[in-house]
Structure 1
Amino acid sequence: MKVKIVSFILVIVLVSELFIGIKPIQATPNDTKNQYVEAIMKVEEANDEVRKCDEKISQLIVEQNDTNSKIESIKVEIENKEKEIEKTEETIVGDAEELKKRVRTTYKNGNDITLDIVFDAKSFSDLLYRRELIRNITGYEVRAIDRTKEAKKTLVNCKKDLEKEVENLSTLKEDLQKQIESIQAEKVEHEKVKTEAEAVSKQYAEQLKVIYGEIESKAQILQAQISAGVKVTSTGETVSETALAILKEANNHLGKKYVWGATGPNTFDCSGLTQYVYGKLGISLTRTTYTQVRQGQYVAPKDVQPGDLVFFGSIRSPHHVGIYAGDGMFIHAPQTGDVVKYSKLSYMPDYTQARRIIG
Structure 2
Amino acid sequence: MTRTPESSMRRVATVGCATLGAVVLSSGVALAEPTEEEARERHGQLQEELSELNEAYNQAEEDHEAAETELEDIEERLGTAQEKLDAKSDKISGIARTAYTGSTHSLFTVLFEGDPDASLQNIADLNFLSEGQDEVLADYVVEVERAEELRDQAAAAEEDAAEALAEAEKAQEEGEAALEEQAEVLESMGGQDPTTSAASSGGGGTAAVSGDVQAVLDFARAQIGKPYVWGGTGPDSYDCSGLVQAAWAQAGVSLPRTTYDQVNAGTRVPRDQVQPGDLLFFYSESSPSHVGIYSGNGNMIHGSNPSKPLEEVSLAAYWDGVFTAAVRVG
Query: Fold conserved (TM > 0.5)?
Result: yes
2:277 paired residue number: 307
1:345 paired residue number: 315
After superposition, give the CA deviation of every residue in 1:204-237 in whole Å (9 maximum; x if it has no partner). 89xx9xx96xx36x46x53xxx5xxxxx62xxx4
1:105 aligns with 2:102: yes
1:68 paired residue number: 65
CA distance in 2, matches of 1:287, 1:112: 63
2:8 paired residue number: none
2:186 paired residue number: 197
Larger-Rg structure? 1
How much is the aligned-residue C-alpha RMSD, in angstroms?
3.5
Q: How far did 1:149 drift? A: 3.7
After superposition, give the CA deviation of every residue in 1:94-122 in whole Å (9 maximum; x if it has no partner). 4223223213315xxx88889xxxxxxxx
1:11 paired residue number: none
1:184 aligns with 2:181: no
Residues 315 and 79 of structure 1: CA distance in aligned 2, closer, same or farther (over 3 Å): closer
Residues 286 and 137 of structure 1: CA distance in aligned 2, closer, same or farther (over 3 Å): closer
1:356 paired residue number: 328
1:271 aligns with 2:241: yes
1:298 paired residue number: 268
Tell which deviates more after alignment, 327-336 or 163-172.
Answer: 163-172
Residues 261 and 51 of structure 1: CA distance in aligned 2, closer, same or farther (over 3 Å): farther
Q: How far did 1:345 drift? A: 0.5
Question: Normalization by structure 2: what TM-score?
Answer: 0.71
Q: How far did 1:272 drift? A: 0.8
2:136 paired residue number: 147
Residues 190 and 149 of structure 1: CA distance in aligned 2, closer, same or farther (over 3 Å): same
- 1:54 and 1:260 in contact (8 A); partners too: no
Q: How far did 1:334 drift? A: 1.7
Secondary structure of 1:347's aligned partner = coil
CA distance in 2, matches of 1:61, 1:111: 67
Aligned with 2:54 (options 54, 57, 64) = 57
Residues 200 and 157 of structure 1: CA distance in aligned 2, closer, same or farther (over 3 Å): same
CA distance in 2, matches of 1:137, 1:323: 65
Question: Normalization by structure 1: what TM-score?
Answer: 0.66
Q: How far did 1:332 drift? A: 0.5
Secondary structure of 2:156's aligned partner = helix
Work out the number of aligned pairs and report it: 278
- 1:46 and 1:193 in contact (8 A); partners too: yes
* Structure 2 residue ranges without an equivalent (≥5): 1-34, 109-123
After superposition, give the CA deviation of every residue in 1:167-193 in whole Å (9 maximum; x if it has no partner). 133123213422442353244333322
1:15 paired residue number: none
CA distance in 2, matches of 1:154, 1:263: 40
1:19 paired residue number: none
CA distance in 1, matches of 2:298, 2:107: 93
- 2:95 and 2:126 in contact (8 A); partners too: no
Residues 269 and 100 of structure 1: CA distance in aligned 2, closer, same or farther (over 3 Å): same
Residues 40 and 83 of structure 1: CA distance in aligned 2, closer, same or farther (over 3 Å): same
Secondary structure of 1:266's aligned partner = coil
2:6 paired residue number: none
2:226 paired residue number: 256
- 2:227 and 2:309 in contact (8 A); partners too: yes
CA distance in 2, matches of 1:45, 1:285: 32
AA at the equivalent of 2:156: E
CA distance in 2, matches of 1:355, 1:112: 75
1:166 aligns with 2:163: no
Q: How far did 1:249 drift? A: 1.7
1:81 aligns with 2:70: no
- 1:41 and 1:347 in contact (8 A); partners too: no
Residues 260 and 40 of structure 1: CA distance in aligned 2, closer, same or farther (over 3 Å): farther
AA at the equivalent of 2:323: Y
Q: How far did 1:298 drift? A: 2.1
- 1:40 and 1:347 in contact (8 A); partners too: no
1:124 paired residue number: none
- 1:59 and 1:261 in contact (8 A); partners too: no
Residues 305 and 287 of structure 1: CA distance in aligned 2, closer, same or farther (over 3 Å): same
- 1:306 and 1:325 in contact (8 A); partners too: yes
Tell which deviates more after alignment, 184-193 or 249-258.
Answer: 184-193
CA distance in 2, matches of 1:357, 1:103: 72
Secondary structure of 1:178's aligned partner = helix
- 2:84 and 2:140 in contact (8 A); partners too: no
- Identity among equivalent positions (%) equals 24
Give 1 or 2: higher helix fraction: 1
- 1:52 and 1:320 in contact (8 A); partners too: no
Q: How far did 1:40 drift? A: 9.7
AA at the equivalent of 2:294: Y
Residues 48 and 283 of structure 1: CA distance in aligned 2, closer, same or farther (over 3 Å): farther
Q: How far did 1:319 drift? A: 1.8
- 2:42 and 2:182 in contact (8 A); partners too: no
Tell which deviates more after alignment, 274-283 or 81-90.
Answer: 81-90
Q: How far did 1:80 drift? A: 4.6
* Structure 1 residue ranges without an equivalent (≥5): 1-37, 115-135, 227-231
